């Protein structure tokens, strides 16, 4: 799925800002976790035009409207969603509409195990698993433009390799068209169905792109010969199937978009900027080009009309980031989402001839007044060695030198993730209850150039951890923050940093919230699922090979040094997590309890690495606030 941000009319932005500012004079109302999570989530399926149904009357979307993610049809004329799946246990996501009939593709795993299967949903509601197998993981690659064939990557033959099959759209019969014996990651198929774009990971900083001829003409062709460390990734093919669109940071700190002519081998720069280009692709006819920059934790998107060379503007769009741009096959209509710090993602459609947009959903729970929520600001924290550490700061309303707020340093996942601007129920709920939140981007985070990104390679638990400690110190220096009430919190890699902060800097934070965080790097790296395949190469290059870096992994793992933890700890874990095994959290909790330190532990038996069910997200959120109020705010 692509995520993007909009080019908007200045009048629209200024008008929305003024309206919000005038409403902020009233004191904020306090809302419960349940109220925040009664907010709906919407995601448009597909890519380019896959989201529009064959009759042009609806969009295929995913939503947690029922409490569990399911696939729905969203009428373009407006009105309620029509459910296509009704799972109450496993999250089910919309993947693509069939271009010639009313069938759709959906995907789901089992209890968060990440072994996703693809299913075809017939008009009568019947679901057919087209990628069966107990240990199979499958992903949709794309359609041939004529709608006769779609392509699926699956590891059914080899758990560590994703082969590509062409499925006949009429019979659903699969045919192997690419046997993956080179450690490739299939990324995109050309509209004519002849070419497959592949990534081969060489290290965390170095990769290559190949193109395979799906008609069977020879081995995949290397299209990115280069010297030194250069990261390449596939974005798409051009609509005429003649060129591969790819991203590369070969020219400097920032990734740019390029095209590679499959026939001549000629290359040309397509999009560049002062930040990383996140993606670039075209509408089905090629008339419109969509591209975006990862601009200081926001996505700055432009839709260009290639006939005029000018950006497309749309009226009736609120201030915020545009995402998931999808074109109707006739390109008269475009669908997209809009989100901001105070407004979750909503679905809009616009007439490309008139530029007028219409809103199809209202995601924010109507019981919550948007003016009670907080808009973020981007800050820079002085890090070790003079390195500026970016962060996204949420300051609670009413916080001042006379009314100091407790605070949280929030650490993103990864390694190599990024804290970004945009709506977060987790953050807004905590801020609404008086906590400042600084979502930090420690060294090693993506989005700030390749030098910054690789600063923590094989040095995890060192400078990156000290950046988080420095972020806590920065918060304590703000005259509106209570210096004795600063906690650390994070999930996945952020959960590791949380546990590491309490272990190796035991006086830096008042408490920690570890959400399925790594505690034993020796075990985690050895237990990476086989279907990670080539991605393990990059992870081992960045984190260190478990076969040779045992001593360092032992040294940086909180579990082996848990006797140092003296501050209260909350641990949240999914029992089916395939990335951070439940035993990691079990053992850390047991070890810290031996210190006579307050430890709370919440396990969800039906979740994996991330919580999909609304009831579980509410339970986790309530646990965060209850723990923080008890051990950080301390009843103040």
Distance CA 352, CA 404 (A): 49
Question: Percentage of the chain with pLDDT > 70?
Answer: 96
Secondary structure letter of residue 435 according to DSSP: -
Secondary structure letter of residue 630 according to DSSP: I
Question: Percentage of the chain with pLDDT > 90?
Answer: 89
Secondary structure letter of residue 403 according to DSSP: B
Residue 415 has pLDDT above 60, yes or no: yes
pLDDT digits (tens, 9 = 90+) for 327-348: 999 999 999 999 999 999 999 9
Residue 67 has pLDDT above 70, yes or no: yes
Distance CA 314, CA 429 (A): 32
Residue 1 has pLDDT above 80, yes or no: no
Residue 217 is predicted with a pLDDT of 75
Burial grade of 264 (CB within 10 A; 0-12, 13-18, 19 or more) = exposed
pLDDT digits (tens, 9 = 90+) for 235-263: 999 999 999 999 999 989 999 999 999 99
Cis peptide before 345 (omega within 30 of 0): no
Distance CA 329, CA 559 (A): 54
Distance CA 253, CA 449 (A): 5
Residue 292 has pLDDT above 60, yes or no: yes
Compute CA distances 168 → 101, 132, 148, 183, whole Å: 14, 17, 6, 26
- Mean pLDDT taken over the chain: 93
Q: Which residue has the higher pLDDT, 12 or 469?
A: 469
Mean pLDDT value of segment 281-296: 96
Strand duo 377-382 + 357-359: pairing: unpaired
- Tell which residue, 474, 340, 488, has the closest CA to residue 412: 488
Contacts of 449 (CB under 8 A, 6+ apart): 253, 254, 276
Q: What is the dihedral of CA 420, 426, 428, 433, to 10 degrees?
A: -140
Structure tokens at 201: 């990971």
DSSP track, 190-222 = -TTS-EEEEEEE-SSS-EEEEEEETT--SSPEE
Residue 76 has pLDDT above 60, yes or no: yes
Contacts of 548 (CB under 8 A, 6+ apart): none
Is residue 606 within 8 A of residue 548, CB to CB? The reply is: no
Q: pLDDT band for position 20 (50/70/90)? A: very low
pLDDT digits (tens, 9 = 90+) for 100-114: 999 999 999 999 999
Is residue 403 within 8 A of residue 461, CB to CB? The reply is: no
Burial grade of 66 (CB within 10 A; 0-12, 13-18, 19 or more) = middle
Q: pLDDT band for position 13 (50/70/90)? A: very low
Distance CA 490, CA 409 (A): 8
Q: What is the dihedral of CA 507, 513, 515, 518, to 10 degrees?
A: 10
Residue 268 has pLDDT above 90, yes or no: yes
List, by residue number, the catalytic residues. 492, 577, 609
Residue 534 is predicted with a pLDDT of 72
Q: What is the dihedral of CA 522, 526, 531, 534, to 10 degrees?
A: 80
Contacts of 287 (CB under 8 A, 6+ apart): 305, 306, 307, 331
Residue 634 is predicted with a pLDDT of 81
pLDDT digits (tens, 9 = 90+) for 526-537: 888 888 877 788
Is residue 119 within 8 A of residue 71, CB to CB? The reply is: no
Query: What is the Cα 414 distance to its own chain's centre?
Result: 11
Is residue 104 within 8 A of residue 60, CB to CB? The reply is: yes
Phi and psi at residue 412, to the nearest 5°: -75, 170
Residue 216 is predicted with a pLDDT of 81
pLDDT digits (tens, 9 = 90+) for 203-236: 999 999 999 999 987 899 999 999 999 999 999 9
Compute CA distances 295 → 4, 116, 158, 338, whole Å: 11, 32, 39, 17
Distance CA 29, CA 432 (A): 8
Q: pLDDT band for position 190 (50/70/90)? A: very high
Helices 614-628, 425-432: axis angle to 10 degrees equals 40
Is residue 192 within 8 A of residue 244, CB to CB? The reply is: no
Is residue 248 within 8 A of residue 224, CB to CB? The reply is: yes
């Amino acid at each position: 799925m692509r995520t993007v941000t909009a080019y908007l009319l200045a009048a629209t932005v200024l008008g929305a800002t003024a309206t919000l500012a005038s409403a902020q004079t009233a004191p904020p109302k306090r809302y419960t976790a349940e109220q925040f999570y009664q907010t709906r989530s919407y995601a448009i399926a597909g890519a380019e035009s896959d989201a529009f149904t064959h009759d042009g009357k609806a969009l295929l979307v995913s939503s947690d409207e029922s409490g569990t993610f399911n696939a729905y049809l969203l009428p373009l004329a407006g009105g309620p969603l029509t459910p296509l799946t009704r799972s109450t246990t496993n999250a089910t996501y919309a993947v693509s509409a069939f271009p010639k009939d009313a069938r759709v593709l959906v995907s789901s795993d089992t209890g968060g195990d990440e072994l996703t299967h693809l299913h075809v949903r017939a008009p009568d509601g019947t679901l057919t698993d087209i990628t069966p197998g107990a240990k199979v993981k499958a992903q949709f690659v794309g359609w041939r433009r004529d709608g006769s064939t779609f392509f699926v990557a699956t590891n059914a033959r080899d758990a560590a390799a994703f082969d590509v099959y062409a499925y006949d759209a009429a019979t659903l019969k699969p045919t192997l068209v690419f046997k993956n014996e080179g450690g490739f990651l299939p990324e995109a198929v050309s509209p004519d169905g002849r070419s497959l774009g592949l990534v081969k990971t060489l290290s965390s900083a170095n990769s290559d792109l190949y193109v395979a001829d799906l008609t069977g003409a020879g081995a995949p062709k290397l299209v990115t010969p280069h010297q030194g460390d250069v990261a390449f990734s596939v974005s798409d093919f051009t609509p005429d199937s003649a060129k591969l669109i790819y991203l590369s940071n070969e020219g400097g700190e920032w990734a740019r978009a390029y095209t590679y002519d499959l026939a001549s081998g000629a290359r040309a720069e397509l999009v560049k900027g002062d930040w990383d280009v996140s993606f670039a692709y075209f509408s089905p006819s090629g008339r419109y080009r969509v591209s975006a920059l990862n601009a200081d934790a926001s996505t700055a998107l432009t839709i260009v009309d290639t006939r005029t060379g000018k950006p497309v503007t749309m009226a009736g769009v609120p201030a915020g980031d545009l995402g998931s741009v999808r074109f109707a096959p006739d390109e008269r209509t475009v669908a997209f989402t809009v989100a901001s710090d105070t407004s979750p993602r909503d679905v809009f459609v616009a007439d490309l001839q008139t530029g007028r947009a219409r809103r199809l959903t209202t995601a924010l729970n109507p019981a919550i007044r948007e003016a009670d929520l907080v808009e973020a600001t981007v800050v820079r924290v002085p890090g070790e060695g003079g390195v500026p550490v970016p962060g996204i700061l949420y300051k609670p309303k009413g916080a001042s030198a006379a009314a100091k707020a407790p605070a949280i340093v929030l650490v993103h996942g990864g390694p190599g993730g990024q804290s970004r601007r945009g709506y977060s129920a987790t953050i807004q709920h905590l801020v609404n209850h008086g906590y400042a939140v600084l979502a930090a981007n420690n060294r090693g985070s993506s989005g700030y150039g390749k030098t910054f990104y690789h600063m923590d390679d094989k040095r995890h638990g060192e400078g990156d951890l000290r950046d988080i400690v420095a972020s806590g110190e920065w918060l304590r220096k703000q005259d509106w923050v209570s210096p004795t009430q600063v906690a650390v919190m994070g999930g996945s890699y952020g959960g590791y940093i949380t546990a590491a902060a309490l272990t190796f800097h035991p006086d830096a934070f008042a408490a920690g919230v570890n959400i399925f965080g790594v505690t034993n790097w020796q075990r985690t790296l050895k237990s990476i699922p086989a279907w990670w395949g080539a991605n393990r190469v990059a992870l081992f290059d960045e984190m260190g090979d478990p076969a040779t870096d045992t001593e360092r992994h032992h040294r940086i793992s909180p579990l082996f040094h848990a006797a140092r933890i003296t501050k209260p700890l909350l641990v949240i874990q999914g029992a089916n997590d395939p990335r951070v095994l439940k035993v990691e959290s079990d053992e850390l909790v047991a070890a810290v309890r031996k210190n006579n330190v307050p430890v709370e532990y919440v396990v969800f038996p039906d979740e994996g690495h991330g919580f999909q069910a609304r009831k579980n997200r509410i339970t986790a959120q309530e646990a965060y606030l209850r723990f923080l109020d008890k051990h950080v705010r301390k009843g103040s």
